[in-house]
Amino acid sequence: MKLTAKADALKKIFQRAADAIPAKSSEPAFMNFLLTVTEDSLKILASDGNITLKTKLSGKDEKGENVIISAEPGRIQVPAKILVEMVTKMVGNVITLNLTDDTNLSVSDENTFYNINSIDAKEYPDIEMESDPSSSSSVTITGEQFISMYQCTSFAVAVKGARQCFLGINIKSGDGRIAFLATDACRLAQKTIEVPDAPEMSFTVPVKVLSMIAKTENLKEVKLELGDGKALFSVGDTIYQSRLYNGEFPSPEKIKPAVTPFSLTVDSNEFISALDRVTLVTMGDATPLAKLTCSADGVEIAASSQSYGAAKEHLKNASFNGDIFQIGFNIKFVTDAVHALNSKEVTLAFAGEGRLFMVQNGDDSNLQIITPIRASV
């Protein structure tokens, strides 16, 4: 096996594939790339056992020049992270990979030479992953739509200590719509887009696979496909395959407040800045809490901690509807929701003290629901 390719193209594809490699694994092969060289391409397979990426380097670059300069077919396993580090640090315009024998792969440019211990390709686990062009459980969306849904929900994914499904994002389609839904049991975020003829399907995947796709440069479109116990996402010459998470998500329509007699409309930037200032006194706290007080005297945000003291902020450009009202909340949760709405003004809609509340901007396609927290300030 031997491959000579444009360095820039090789670096990009290796760096993309490296996202699928785990920090550690009980399966040694998952720390490796499976490289397959054909007469005109380099194919890379990378997996952590739950998420698998298959991508290909071929064709021409932006200058119209072939990215593969020469190729001699073959297959090999190579330790992924060290290979990526080596290739990334090389400064030549062309890089050559040359399998000198069954256990040694040389990596070189005009200035640098490396020799990497490699492993027989036959020892790599057998992973089947092929997109089905005729699948009825598939839909294609634009890159802009995908990024919008991901950015409006991914922050609400649970980090740890939750039901398995809450560690991922639920993707549901049907009735001409597709929605991404995430929750950590303390907040819920959902973003919906209109997609004619979207098939009926619902599945949950680890947030990691969606974050990998979201990093794609100039993302044009993404094909979502539900298979047997797995989901596939096709992006150009790259296929991402993910295992599915089991478990039910709460229905946003059932938990969102039906009546909100209290509402506060604020300038988004002013509100975020005020939250940022009062949160200074909560530095080091596991949960940065604030108390919001709304009355005829105005709107005040307060926070305190035993370590640093207390802070208060009066909002000038705020409009409150309702009687005197107080509620505590996680500052980060509210900040994340406001950022997700990405609008000049937002409205916090309250059902009552101690009850779920929503952060809105008049766009029903972007739902942000937050659980209040008792805050003693």
Parallel, antiparallel or unpaired: strands 113-117 and 177-183: unpaired
The number of C-alpha atoms within 13 Å of 131 and in the hemisphere containing its C-beta is 21
DSSP 276: H
Q: Where in the chain is the domain with CATH 3.10.150.10?
A: 2-123, 138-252
CA dist 169 and 92 (Å) reads 41
Predicted local confidence at residue 286, as pLDDT: 85
CA dist 102 and 90 (Å) reads 24
Predicted local confidence at residue 102, as pLDDT: 79
One CATH from 3.50.50.60, 3.80.30.20, 3.10.150.10, 3.90.1150.10 for 2-123: 3.10.150.10
CA dist 125 and 16 (Å) reads 21
CA dist 207 and 185 (Å) reads 16
Phi, psi (rounded to 5 degrees) for 59: 80, -150
Query: For 33-52, b where at least 16 C-beta lie within 10 A, e where not — what string?
Result: bbbbbbeebbbbbbbbebbb
Q: Is 39 helix (H, G, I), strand (E, B) or coil?
A: coil
User: Which CATH topology does 256-370 take?
Assistant: Proliferating Cell Nuclear Antigen (3.70.10)
Selection from 345, 139, 349, 199 nearest residue 263 by Cα? 349
Helical ranges in the chain per DSSP H: 7-18, 80-89, 143-151, 207-214, 252-255, 268-278, 331-341
Q: Where in the chain is the domain with CATH 3.70.10.10?
A: 256-370
Predicted local confidence at residue 376, as pLDDT: 65
**Structure-block tokens of residue 362:** 């008049």
Parallel, antiparallel or unpaired: strands 94-101 and 2-6: antiparallel
Q: How many residues appear in the chain?
A: 377
CA dist 153 and 39 (Å) reads 42
Predicted local confidence at residue 162, as pLDDT: 72
Q: How many helices (H) and strands (E) does the chain have?
A: 7, 26
Domain range 138-252, CATH class: alpha beta
Predicted local confidence at residue 296, as pLDDT: 80
Q: Which residues of the chain have pLDDT under 50?
A: none
